[in-house]
Structures are given as structure tokens and as C-alpha cells.
Amino acid sequence: MAKKLNEILFNQIAQFHEFNLYLPTRTIYFGGLGTTNEDDADTVNCRTVAQFIKNLHILSANNSKYISVLLNSPGGSWEDGIACYDLMKQIKPKIAIIGLGKLYSMGSVLFQAGDKRLIYPNTTMMIHDGTDGYMGDAKSFENWAKNSKYVREVMYKIYYSHMKQKKSKIALKDIEDMCSHDRVFTATEAVQWGLADEII
């Protein structure tokens, strides 16, 4: 009887893998690390973020235990990604984010939300200003350009809040200069610059 109950429980838990969540270890997979086969499973978009937010809410019901996030992403949408970032900074449970493979663009911003930021030794991180695609009339273009400037300032401040702890003399202007082009970091460099806490 006990064996049958364990089998039923295991099957129920295994179903959560379809949603990039593993309940026994309180781990969320972000970045094509789960069982989904979609081509955009590793990008930050409305679909991956919606599932990520649902998983955060499931695990945050128990606020006394760490949540682990395995992150491997080439980046994606700022608007979708910053929703994840804000939520991770607000929920009560502490979050350990483990970076592996690639942490590019919005993926590197999400990584900064962790209370612990751990990185595998062969992981690559990349920061930059991102890309803009404006549409519409001149007034719309002006408004989107203004919003783009605001977004970049928020992003610089997120990086700065961590980097200044390791590089006390760094200024926001230095980070702006770094982000004017793709700036690539090895795992060791990410720790040296304060963009990660330690190498696993």
C-alpha cells in the first residue's frame, strides 16, 4: 500500500516538470531546462515569464525556505523580465539563483535579483543596452525614445547596486560605457566585477 502511495505521489510531483518546477527541492527552471520543447523556451517572453511567476507564487506559500532558480537565458523582453525581477525582490522567501550556460542581456538582469547569485565556472554573462524597435509617428517615436532612456537608467542602477560593492570607485557612467556595446564576462570576471557572488 505504501509503495502504491509513493508511486502516486511521485507521478503527481513529476507532472510539475512540465511546468519547469520541481517541488521536492523547491527549484524553478528558467531557460529551456525543463521538459518544454518550444524554440523560445530559453528567452524572456510573456509565456515563459507567466509560468515563472506562477511557479514563484506556488513556492512562496512557504516563506521559510529558500527558492532555487536555475537560469540559462539569452535574454529577451525587458517588460516581461522586469516583472520577474520585481517579484523576486518582493516575495518573502530568499532566492538563490544559479547561473549556467549563458546569462545574456535580460538574463543577466534577472540574475541580479537573487539573494544568492551563484554561477557555474563555464557560464558566460553579457550586458548591453539591448535593442530598440520604434514604430509609429514622430510623437510616438519621441515617447518610446524617452521610455528607452528610462529603461536603460533602471538597468544601470540594478548593475550598479551590486558592482559598487566590489568596485567601490565605479560610477554609473562607467556602467553606461560598458553597456554601449556587448560586454562579455567569464564567470571569474562576473564575480570580480560584483555581477555574481561566487563560482560553484
* pLDDT of the residue at 9: 56
Instruction: Kindly state the percentage of the chain with pLDDT values over 90.
Output: 62
Query: H-helix or E-strand containing 46?
Result: helix 46-59
* pLDDT of the residue at 134: 64
Q: How many CA atoms lie within 13 A of 123 on its CB side?
A: 32
In a domain, 9, yes or no: no
172-179 vs 138-166: helix crossing angle, rounded to 10: 120
Cβ 115 vs Cβ 95: under 8 Å = yes
Q: What is the mean pLDDT of the chain?
A: 86
Q: What is the pLDDT of residues 129-188, one digit of tens each?
A: 977 666 667 787 788 788 889 999 999 999 999 999 999 899 999 999 999 999 999 999
* pLDDT of the residue at 120: 98
**Mean pLDDT of all residues in 11-24:** 69
In this model, does residue 4 exceed pLDDT 80?
no
What is the tally of structural domains in the chain?
A: 1
CATH of the domain at 57: 3.90.226.10
Other C-beta atoms within 10 Å of 96: how many? 17
Instruction: Kindly state the percentage of the chain with pLDDT values over 70.
Output: 83
* pLDDT of the residue at 101: 95
Rounded CA-CA distance 176/183 in Å is: 11
Residues paired with residue 99 on neighbouring β-strands, in sequence order: 71, 119
In this model, does residue 10 exceed pLDDT 70?
no
In a domain, 134, yes or no: yes
In a domain, 5, yes or no: no
* pLDDT of the residue at 191: 97
Cβ 28 vs Cβ 98: under 8 Å = no
**Strand locations in 1-115 (E):** 21-22, 27-30, 67-73, 95-104
Give the range with max mean pLDDT: 1-15, 38-52, 109-123, 134-148: 109-123
Active site (catalytic) residues: 105, 128
* pLDDT of the residue at 141: 73
Rounded CA-CA distance 32/69 in Å is: 13
Rounded CA-CA distance 54/139 in Å is: 37
Q: What is the pLDDT of residues 29-57, one digit of tens each?
A: 987 554 445 556 668 888 899 999 999 99
* pLDDT of the residue at 153: 95
In a domain, 2, yes or no: no
Residues 62, 65, 69: CA angle, nearest 5 degrees: 100
In this model, does residue 11 exceed pLDDT 90?
no
User: Which three cell numbers, joined as nine digits, stand for 193?
Assistant: 566585477
In this model, does residue 12 exceed pLDDT 70?
no
In a domain, 1, yes or no: no
In this model, does residue 90 exceed pLDDT 90?
yes
Q: Which residues constitute the domain of residue 101?
A: 20-199
